[in-house]
């Protein structure tokens, strides 16, 4: 619950106003564009991962075992591995009911690449009948094709380079996923490459986007607070153990199969397992109280519409 109401909802205070301001004509500079894109990248993860964890936990109360749905997707070093770790149940469904029936990889490389593109385009449409979702699915299909073709060459890249390229590709995809139109997405991407200028530190206290008639002030939080929130979110997503690693007793086989994470960011080793103790009880109590206090506000789960 804390993932959703403490982390995701606070990141929404940064992402939502920036995307809304862009749709109203604002032009984000480099700093604001990246703040909005990264804030939404983390908001979506903690929102979706949080309620997936809640579903798993509530089901276990009735002795119903749901499959794991996330396995630290932002730590992976390739887009292929990203889709093995992000929304695992949907990825498996797309594989079993679309990719394999289309022929999978059984009829040569060109047909395999075609099947990947078709599968991801349909996966994009599954999220909504809009061009932004079609482009998002198409981009991931293209990323997967490039990744597969690269692996066929047998060439290797450093894990950090693989992670960086993958993470940036995912962030670009989320811009289309979140934007209300293709035009808004392109405006944000243009800002991310400095097309509207580069922010300097004096803009930190007062977050705003440039428009034709001046500056649109977009956030109730300062740029400094936004940076701190995003930094904390990245540390949690990239450095801390995930649900499967904490409960290795239940998900040990999955951990053994998934060793394609970037270990550079692992500051806590996998062998940590959640067991009853004073330390865990105090930590759980703190997280629970934080979540309950944060329930004073109302917010939707991002995936309710899907």
Residues belonging to the active site: 127
Which among 84, 63, 51 has a CA at the least distance from the CA of 254?
A: 84
- Secondary structure in 3-state letters for the chain: CHHHHHHHHHHHHHHHHHHHHHHCCCECCHHHHHHHHHHHHHHHHHHHHHHHHHHHHHHHHCCCCCCCCCCCHHHECCHHHHHHHCCHHHHHHHHHHHHCCCCCCCCCHHHHHHHHHHHHHHHHHHHCCCHHHHHHHHHHHHHHHHHHHHHHHCCCCCHHHHHHHHHHHHHHHHHHHHCCCHHHHHHHHHHHCCCCCCCCHHHCCCCEEEECCEEEECCCCCHHHHHHHHHHHHHHHHHCCCHHHHCHHHHHHHHHHCCCECHHHCCCCCCCCCCCCHHHHHHHHHHHHHHHHHCCCCCCCHHHHC
Q: Alpha carbon of 229 to those of 13, 43, 233, 297: distances in Å? A: 10, 10, 6, 18
Rounded to whole angstroms, the Cα distance separating 22 from 18 reads 6
Are 50 and 290 contacting, i.e. CB atoms less than 8 angstroms apart? no
Which among 147, 138, 183, 187 has a CA at the least distance from the CA of 165?
A: 147
Residue 133 φ then ψ, to 5°? -70, -35
């Amino acid at each position: 619950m804390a993932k959703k109401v403490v982390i995701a909802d606070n990141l929404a205070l940064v992402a939502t106003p920036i995307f809304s301001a862009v749709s109203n004509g604002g032009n984000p500079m480099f700093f604001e564009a990246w703040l909005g894109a990264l804030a939404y990248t983390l908001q979506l993860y903690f929102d979706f991962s949080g309620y997936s964890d809640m579903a798993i936990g509530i089901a276990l109360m009735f002795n119903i075992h749901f499959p794991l749905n996330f396995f630290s997707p932002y730590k992976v070093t390739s887009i292929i591995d990203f889709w093995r770790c992000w929304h695992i149940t949907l990825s498996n469904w797309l594989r079993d009911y679309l990719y394999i029936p289309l022929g999978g990889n059984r009829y040569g490389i060109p047909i395999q690449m075609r099947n990947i593109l078709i599968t991801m385009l349909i996966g994009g449409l599954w999220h909504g009948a809009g061009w932004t979702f079609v482009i998002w699915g198409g981009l991931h299909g293209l990323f997967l094709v490039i990744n597969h073709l690269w692996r066929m060459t047998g060439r290797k890249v450093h894990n950090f380079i693989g992670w960086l390229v993958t993470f940036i590709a995912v962030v670009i995809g989320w811009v289309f996923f979140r934007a209300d139109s293709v035009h808004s997405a392109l405006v944000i991407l243009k800002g991310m490459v400095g097309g509207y200028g580069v922010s300097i530190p004096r803009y930190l206290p007062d977050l705003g986007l440039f428009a034709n008639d001046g500056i649109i002030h977009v956030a109730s939080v300062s740029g400094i607070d936004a940076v701190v929130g995003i930094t904390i979110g990245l540390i949690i997503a990239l450095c801390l153990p995930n649900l499967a690693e904490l409960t290795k007793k239940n998900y040990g086989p999955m951990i053994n199969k998934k060793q394609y994470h970037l270990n550079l960011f692992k500051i806590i080793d996998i062998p940590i397992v959640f067991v009853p103790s004073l330390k865990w009880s105090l930590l759980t109590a703190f997280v629970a109280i934080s979540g309950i206090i944060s329930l004073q506000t109302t917010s939707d789960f991002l995936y309710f519409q899907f």
